Amino acid sequence: MTRPQPRPALDVATLVRDRRTRVVVTCGSGGVGKTTTAAAMALMGAEAGRRTVVLTIDPARRLAQSMGLIELDNTPREVKGVADGQLFAMMLDMKRTFDEVVLEHSTPERAEQIFQNPFYQSLSSSFAGTQEYMAMEKLGQLVAANEWDLIIVDTPPSRSALDFLDAPNRLGRFLDGRMVRLLTAPAKAGGKAYMKVVTVSVGMVARVFTKVIGGDLLNDLSTFVTALESMFGGFRERAQHTYELLKNPGTAFVVVAAPEPDALREASYFVERLSAEHMPLAGVIVNRTRQAEPVAGAAPLTAARAELAADGLDEKLASAKTAATKTVPTKSAAEAAALATAALRVHAEIAAAAEHDARMTKRFSSAHPQVPLVPLLALPADVHDLDGLRTIGKLLGA
């Protein structure tokens, strides 16, 4: 009979300290502590002597608060108090990143024309998909700068966290789409008759868009696409380059989950999606795992046994009060029994939670037996500073 192979463990400490690891991308659903976990990994890498930057795409302020920073923006800010290394943190500003790309790949006059275009103003700040594409741009910029030993990317807390993997193909579909060809053709042809045909063809779509954005959308969009046409090839090339970079051995994806059905369901989605894209998945961190404290020299006390013992103490105390001898326990004995009963019931609750978390983790592990996994014990309080991040790092490296 073949013995089952032990589940591989995720060694986070070795991963972030390994000089061959350059990019770590964390992903997971909301409320699982992903941002804090990413910050803890970044601190581990920095304090191992690596010049590290952590980039968050999540607009929440948890990352800045845990690192003692007032705010984060599109420029890396150094975190003070890091021992034996350098740690920087930043938050993606998709509009500013888009502006930087335009400035880099056009003349000042053409850039100003693009910036003033109403369609560009909407596209660069609010259109779906822009954030994911700009995340690819920013990651590509950080890697190309060649000044970071380790880059940690904290993605948004949703399934759209992996939408940036689609950026090259989505951009290609947009650039090669019929709408773009129709909009750029009038500027190339210069014919009023052709423009009339185009206007009829896309009039209904334009009217819908106009209600959302306002203004003469068709003209703005045509002008915008024509102005950016010379840059599109570079956009697609850089997005494809970053996509290939994510497949390199120097990149690792870490999925963060919690021992709850919804969070683990999302983790399964991320694991399967990364596998389908042939991305290097390092493993899964099951965060906030609860554990019952063992009693020294005693067998593990399960939730059921603790409840049974508490019920037994209650019954013994009640029967002593109603015995034929009318022997009533002393006040100190009654108080001791009540205290022991309360302690057993508290332990029963903790043990039940620990058993639930172990069961959920085991179920996930059984569904993905080849995926390395590490449980991260729940802390008694939220993390708000570097010492808290170090505690998480120690737990991950234990």
> For the segment 236-289, what is each residue's pLDDT rounded down to a tens digit?
677 778 888 889 889 999 999 999 999 999 999 999 999 998 999 999 999 999
Gap between the Cα atoms of 290 and 332, Å rounded? 34
Tell whether the model's pLDDT for residue 136 goes beyond 90: no
Tell whether the model's pLDDT for residue 393 goes beyond 50: yes
Q: Which residues pair with 256 in a beta bridge?
A: 285
SS3 of residue 147 by DSSP:
coil
Gap between the Cα atoms of 205 and 191, Å rounded? 22
Q: Mean pLDDT, to the nearest integer, of 339-354?
A: 76
Gap between the Cα atoms of 95 and 115, Å rounded? 10
For the chain, counts of helices (H) and of strands (E): 15, 8
Tell whether the model's pLDDT for residue 328 goes beyond 60: no
pLDDT at position 266: 92
pLDDT at position 193: 45
SS3 of residue 86 by DSSP:
coil
DSSP codes joined into one string, 139-170? HHHHHHHT--SEEEEE--SSGGGGGGGGHHHH
Q: What is the DSSP letter of 328?
A: P
Residues 6+ apart with CB under 8 A from 94: 124, 125, 130, 131, 134, 135
Tell whether the model's pLDDT for residue 93 goes beyond 50: yes
Amino acid at 276: A
Tokens coding 351: 């043990």
Gap between the Cα atoms of 9 and 29, Å rounded? 22
Nearest to 10 by CA among 391, 302, 365: 365
Q: Which residues pair with 54 in a beta bridge?
A: 89, 152
Q: Are the C-beta atoms of residues 277 and 27 closer than 8 Å to each other?
A: no
Q: Mean pLDDT, to the nearest integer, of 348-356?
A: 82
When pLDDT is cut at 50, 70 and 90, the band that residue 7 belongs to is low
pLDDT at position 155: 84
pLDDT at position 106: 78
Domain 12-170+241-290+378-397 of CATH type 3.40.50.300:
yes
Tokens coding 329: 């326990």
pLDDT at position 187: 47
Gap between the Cα atoms of 76 and 3, Å rounded? 50
Gap between the Cα atoms of 279 and 312, Å rounded? 55
CB burial of 8-34 (b: ≥16 within 10 Å; e: otherwise) equals eebbbbebbbbeebbbbbbbbbeebbb
What is the residue extent of each domain of the chain?
A: 12-170+241-290+378-397, 303-355
Highest-confidence segment of 219-233, 259-273, 302-316: 259-273
Q: Mean pLDDT, to the nearest integer, of 91-105?
A: 83
Q: Mean pLDDT, to the nearest integer, of 77-88?
A: 90
When pLDDT is cut at 50, 70 and 90, the band that residue 184 belongs to is low
Gap between the Cα atoms of 236 and 127, Å rounded? 18
Gap between the Cα atoms of 171 and 166, Å rounded? 8
Instruction: Tell me the HSE value of 73 on the side-chain side, using a 13 A CA sphere.
Output: 4
Tell whether the model's pLDDT for residue 116 goes beyond 80: yes
Q: Are the C-beta atoms of residues 44 and 16 closer than 8 Å to each other?
A: yes
Tell whether the model's pLDDT for residue 345 goes beyond 90: no
